[in-house]
């Protein structure tokens, strides 16, 4: 088993990772009867894409002999209705100065690695994903 999720009332649930014991609480968003004081379940979906991209890119970078420390990704989740669902995810990469001048081949390898991460491959094709690579854009 990977995790457990316990509903604690007030539209909040606590997810616990069984191997590490680490946990986080989710809250319903303000536009769906919640207080919006924590990540919503759909926020975690969108955020997990950015986290997965960064993690797989960092694994690839490490195998190539360098680190990706300091890369930041801003995440925008776009909801749709009828039925209510995540309709889009927009990611904006912010590349630190130390990584901006990397050669094009390496950038291409890293971007491909991120774009083919397990979360990206698991998302329904109706979810439109847009990635702004910042200074790594072509």
List pLDDT tens digits, range 37-87.
999 999 999 999 999 999 999 999 999 999 999 999 999 999 999 999 999
- Closest alpha carbon to 48 in 101, 91, 111, 95: 91
Query: pLDDT per residue over 20-47, tens digit each?
Result: 999 999 999 999 999 999 999 999 999 9
- Cβ atoms within 10 Å of 27's Cβ, excluding its own: 18
- Domains in the chain, start-ordered, CATH in brackets? 3-32 (no CATH), 41-136 (3.30.300.20)
- Greatest alpha-carbon pair distance for the chain in Å reads 51
Strands 85-94, 72-80: pairing kind: antiparallel
Query: pLDDT per residue over 102-118, tens digit each?
Result: 999 999 999 999 999 99
Rg of the chain (C-alpha set): 17
Cβ-based neighbours of 63, under 8 Å, separated by 6 or more: none
Residue 138: the pLDDT is 65
Enter the DSSP assignment of 33.
T
Q: Bridge-partner residues for 72, per DSSP?
A: 94
Q: What is the DSSP string of 88-118?
A: EEEEEEE--HHHHT--HHHHHHHHHHHHT-H
């Amino acid at each position: 088993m990977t995790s457990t999720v316990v509903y604690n009332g007030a539209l909040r649930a606590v997810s616990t990772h069984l191997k590490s014991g680490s946990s986080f609480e989710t809250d319903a968003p303000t536009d769906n009867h919640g207080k919006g004081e924590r990540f919503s379940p759909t926020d975690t979906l969108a955020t997990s894409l950015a986290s997965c991209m960064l993690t797989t890119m960092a694994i690839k970078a490490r195998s190539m002999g360098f680190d990706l420390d300091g890369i930041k990704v801003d995440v925008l989740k776009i909801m749709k209705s009828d039925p209510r669902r995540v309709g889009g995810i927009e990611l904006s990469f912010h590349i630190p100065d130390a990584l901006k001048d990397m050669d094009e081949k390496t950038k291409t390898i890293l971007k491909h690695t991120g774009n083919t991460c397990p979360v990206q491959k698991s998302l329904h094709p109706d979810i439109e994903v847009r990635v702004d690579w910042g200074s790594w854009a072509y």
